[in-house]
Amino acid sequence: MFDIHLGSDLSDKDNPRIAKDGTGKWPCINASIEILGSEKEDIKRQDQFSQELGGLFDRLQEGFDRLGKEEKAKCGQWGVAVDIILHVDLVKMEILLDRLFKYCNLDFHLFTALLEIIKHNFPEYDFIVPSLQGYELAKEINQYLRDPEIEFIYLKNDTDERLLKGNTIREITLEKILEDTKKHYDERGGIEKKKLGLGLGSEISMYYKGKVVEEEVLWMQLRIPISSN
């Protein structure tokens, strides 16, 4: 399923650029792309964004079609290899990535390909991950985007849960969390061992080691200005 929603001012009939994939063109992709705001203000940019996403999805589907049966089977009975949920807010000038997950070993770097499209079309926007949970995506963000700011982080230990924000989390960086997470799993047989024990679509939890206790990162919100990258 692939839907691009461009607000409520114009209908699908009036907008051939809106891709609502009822034909099964990209059966390996489950994607919802929503553009909020007045699409009449910048139709050319939105057209280009939609076209570039379609090109990306073409390449993903071609890569999936080349996989062997054993690798395709990792995607479950529905054969979905990729999950993407993305919101573009034209008013707030923000790109929100709610979900990005790859279920099988596609020979394709999904995050960097999507990031290049975002940078090309919305270079003056902020890139936001509002509820980051998984270690793999966090690692890629830290690798390919400079200076991600943690705006909120929700931590859990054996006795308590706490939501931190603003000045209270200046000492907590994404790089430190990734280091603490790797150490946590290294002490328990490694990250690959943890992956083997997870179900389809599950993500590896992250950990933060403070001065007193180690805490699980239930989620965190990141903000990165695209212009600085």
pLDDT at 102: 87
State the maximum Cα–Cα separation within the chain, in Å, rounded to a whole number. Answer: 59
Verify that 80 and 181 share a domain, yes or no: no
Which of 108, 133, 124 is closest to 55 using CA atoms?
Answer: 108
Same domain, 92 and 68: yes
Same domain? For 83 and 172 the reply is: no
Q: What is the pLDDT of residue 111?
A: 95
Give the end of a domain, one of 124, 140, 166: 124
Provide mean pLDDT across the span 62-71.
90
Say if residue 9 is in the same domain as residue 120. Answer: yes
Please answer whether residues 103 and 51 qualify as being in contact, where contact means their C-beta atoms are separated by less than 8 angstroms.
Answer: no
Return the pLDDT at 4: 53
Q: Tens of pLDDT along 24-58?
A: 688 899 999 988 876 666 788 888 998 999 999 99
CA-based angle 28:33:39, to the nearest 5?
A: 145
120 and 160 assigned to the same domain:
no
pLDDT digits (tens, 9 = 90+) for 164-204: 997 788 889 999 999 999 999 999 999 888 887 776 667 89
Same-domain check for residues 190 and 201: yes
Question: Read out DSSP for 118-145?
Answer: HHHH-TTSEEEEEEE--HHHHHHHHHHS
Domain of residue 158, residue span: 127-229
* pLDDT grade for 17, boundaries at 50, 70 and 90: very low
Domain boundary among 70, 89, 124: 124
Domain count, the chain: 2
Q: Are residues 104 and 166 in the same domain?
A: no
Quote the Cα angle for 213-216-219, to 5°.
Answer: 135
19, HSE (Cβ side, Cα atoms, 13 Å): 22
Q: How confident is the model at residue 166, as a pLDDT? A: 78
pLDDT at 7: 38
Band the pLDDT of 215: cuts 50, 70, 90: very high
Residues 115, 150: one domain? no
Give residue 184's pLDDT.
96
Give the end of a domain, one of 74, 98, 124: 124
In this prediction the pTM is 0.84
Instruction: Tell me: do 77 and 153 sit in the same domain.
Output: no
Q: Which of 40, 34, 28 is nearest to 1 (CA)?
A: 28
Amino acid, single-letter form, for residue 14? D
Do 195 and 221 lie in a common domain? yes
Same domain, 5 and 94: yes
Among candidate residues 103, 78, 101, 125, the one with its CA nearest the CA of residue 223:
125
Mean pLDDT confidence for 198-213? 85
Pairwise CA distance, residues 85 & 182, whole Å = 27
What SS3 class is residue 124? coil
Which pLDDT belongs to residue 167?
A: 77
Residues 110 and 59 in one domain: yes
Q: What's the confidence (pLDDT) of residue 88?
A: 92
The predicted-structure confidence for 90-139, as pLDDT tens digits, reads as follows 889 999 999 999 888 887 899 999 999 999 999 999 999 999 999 999 99
